[in-house]
Amino acid sequence: MKLRTYIVEDNATIRENLIGTLEELASVEAVGIAETEDEGKEWLSAHSDQWDLAIVDLFLRQGSGLGVLAACRTRRPGQKMVVLSNYATPDVRMRCAQLGVDAVFDKSNEIDALVDYCIQHSSSPSATDAAAQGAPVSGSSM
């Protein structure tokens, strides 16, 4: 099963490379992109049944990825929110955890971990079922 993934990233080069890598290696289908906080919030809210994973950068052309994360706190069970940022400091990771983020990955050295995360969640329906039931799901990089 392909993981329907929405990407909130304002750098076109990073975004295109990320989509290409995830589609090739992790059975991910990119269902849309946003470059700003408002675009991300609007699409994710209006299409709440059309995505399984949102990958969000924190620093955007307009607004912040934190606003996108806050807007999705009440997402459907089984939907995952992850952060991909150059600023994955302990303080940022703690703030993301407070917003209900499932994992945080550093752009500079944790892309492989993000790919592994996507592989796990695209190929393991039991992981999605466990998350929907509130059970802990291993593999989170928090």
- The more confidently predicted of residues 136 and 51 is 51
Instruction: Examine the pLDDT at 134 and tell me if it is beyond 70.
Output: no
DSSP string covering 83-120: EEES---HHHHHHHHHTT-SEEEETTT-HHHHHHHHHH
pLDDT at position 127 over 50: no
Q: Does domain 3-132 have CATH number 3.40.50.2300?
A: yes
Instruction: Dump pLDDT digits (tens) for 85-100.
Output: 999 999 999 999 999 9
8-state DSSP, 5: E
- Quick check: 5 pLDDT over 90? yes
Q: Where are the domains of the chain?
A: 3-132
State the average pLDDT over residues 37-65: 97
